[in-house]
Amino acid sequence: LGGGYTLQRVAELIPRECFVITSRSAETCDSWRARGWNAHQVSLENRESIASLFAAYPHIRQIVDSVPPLRAGSDPATGVRNLVSVAMGKGIERILYLSTTGVFGGRDGSVVTEETPPAPWNPQGQARWSSEQAYRESGIPYTALRLPAIYGFDRGLLWSIRNGTYRLVGDGNSWSNR
């Protein structure tokens, strides 16, 4: 679900018949189909569009969810709840959710491990944590990968160093996960 930077890189590496990539944009889906990819227009805000994905591709068994939590409304996990409500009984074996290290909340350069309890400090981290909890509550087997920031070719740490816009955090004596 979703076709941002990460999933497009994955799509370039795996056999085309093994996946369906999704976007809310019909134009984006058309451009992916022109590349030979299976693409389907889906909005997690709309249960009918989720149902149409499963109707068009009834053999889906694994889902990789890279869609950011919804920003509209009061519950950022609404999209996840919509997905699992439609996916129940469809034979889904596992959902892989691309979450964020932001759920840990550490911003002081301290060591963070999987044993570090979640303590999101900003709305984005809290929204991802809420989405993880919605998957956990669904009963569908899932794995949350807590990724650091994902950077494409023209952004991120190296890009900001090269173009002179990099800012040190605090006194510059902290660790960063890149």
Chain segment 3-32, per-residue pLDDT in tens: 888 889 889 999 988 999 999 999 999 999
- CA distances 86 to 49, 82, 90, 132, 140, Å, are 10, 6, 8, 17, 12
Other CB atoms closer than 10 Å to residue 153's CB: what's the count? 8
The mean pLDDT of 95-121, rounded to a whole number, is: 83
pLDDT at 178 over 60: no
DSSP letter string, 7-38? HHHHHHHS-GGG-EEEES-HHHHHHHHHTT-E
Task: Tell me the CA distances in angstroms from 70 to 30, 45, 81, 146, 169, one per residue in order.
Answer: 24, 8, 11, 18, 29
Rg (C-alpha) for the chain, rounded Å, is 18
128-175 pLDDT tens trace: 999 999 999 999 999 999 887 666 666 667 777 888 887 776 676 766
- Return all residues near 80 (Cβ < 8 A) that are at least 6 apart: 44, 65, 69, 131, 134, 135, 138
Tell me how many degrees the CA angle 169-108-114 measures, rounded to the nearest 5. 125
Model pTM?
0.81
Q: How far is CA 34 from CA 8, 23, 37, 91, 124, in A?
A: 14, 15, 7, 29, 33
Is residue 82 within 8 Å of residue 51, measured between CB atoms?
Answer: no
Start-to-end CA span in the chain (Å): 24
Cβ atoms of 43 and 24 closer than 8 Å:
yes
Q: CA-based angle 110:95:38, to the nearest 5? A: 120
Structure tokens at 39: 């693409």
